[in-house]
Chains A and B, each alone.
Chain A
Amino acid sequence: MELSTILISLLGGVLLGLSSAALLLFNGKIAGISGIVGGLLRPVPEEWGWRAWYVGGLLAGGVLVYALHPSAFAIQVHRSLPLLIAAGLLVGFGARLGSGCTSGHGICGLSRFSARSWVATAVFTATGALAVFVLNHLGGGL
Chain B
Amino acid sequence: MRNAFAFACGLVFAIGLGVGGMTQPAKIVGFLDVSGHWDPTLVFVLAGAVGSYMLAYRWIRRKRHPVFAMRFQIPRTSVIDTRLVLGSAIFGVGWGIGGFCPGPAITSFASGQMAPVVFALSMLAGVALFDLTPLGALPLGARWQPGKARESAPGAAASAPTDA
Binding site for B on A (CB under 8 A): 1, 5-6, 8-39, 41-42, 44, 49-51, 53-66, 69-70, 72-77, 79, 81, 83-112, 114-117, 119-121, 123-133, 135-137
Contacts and interface: CB of A to CB of B under 8 A. Distances in A.
Nearest to A28: B66
Contacts of A114: 75, 78, 163
Contacts of A91: 91, 94-95, 98, 100-102, 105, 119, 123, 126
A93 B90 contact: yes
Contacts of A76: 24-26
B56 A28 contact: no
Interface string B97-126: 111111101111111010110111111111
A131 B107 CA distance: 23
A contact face: mostly helix, strand, loop, or mixed = helix
18 contacts: A16-B13, A18-B12, A23-B9, A30-B74, A50-B6, A57-B12, A58-B14, A59-B110, A64-B15, A65-B110, A83-B98, A89-B126, A90-B93, A90-B97, A98-B87, A112-B74, A114-B75, A128-B28
B95 A102 contact: yes
Interface string B135-161: 110001100000000000000000001
A13 B60 CA distance: 19
Contacts of B66: 24-28
Interface of B: 2-26, 28-29, 32-36, 40-41, 44-54, 56-57, 60, 63, 65-75, 77-80, 83-103, 105-111, 113, 115-116, 118-131, 135-136, 140-141, 161-164
B19 A11 contact: yes
A70 to B, nearest CB: 7
B103 A58 contact: yes
Given A37-B106, A57-B14, A93-B90, A133 B122 contact: no
Contact of A124 (B19, B91, B99): B91
Given A11-B48, A59-B106, A131-B32, A107 B53 contact: yes
A94 B141 CA distance: 13
B125 A92 contact: yes
A10 B48 contact: yes
In the A-B complex, the 9 residue pairs with the smallest Cβ-Cβ separation, listed nearest first, are A104-B164, A32-B164, A12-B20, A57-B10, A13-B48, A92-B126, A61-B14, A88-B122, A98-B87
Interface centre among B44, B97, B128 (most CB of A within 10 A): B97
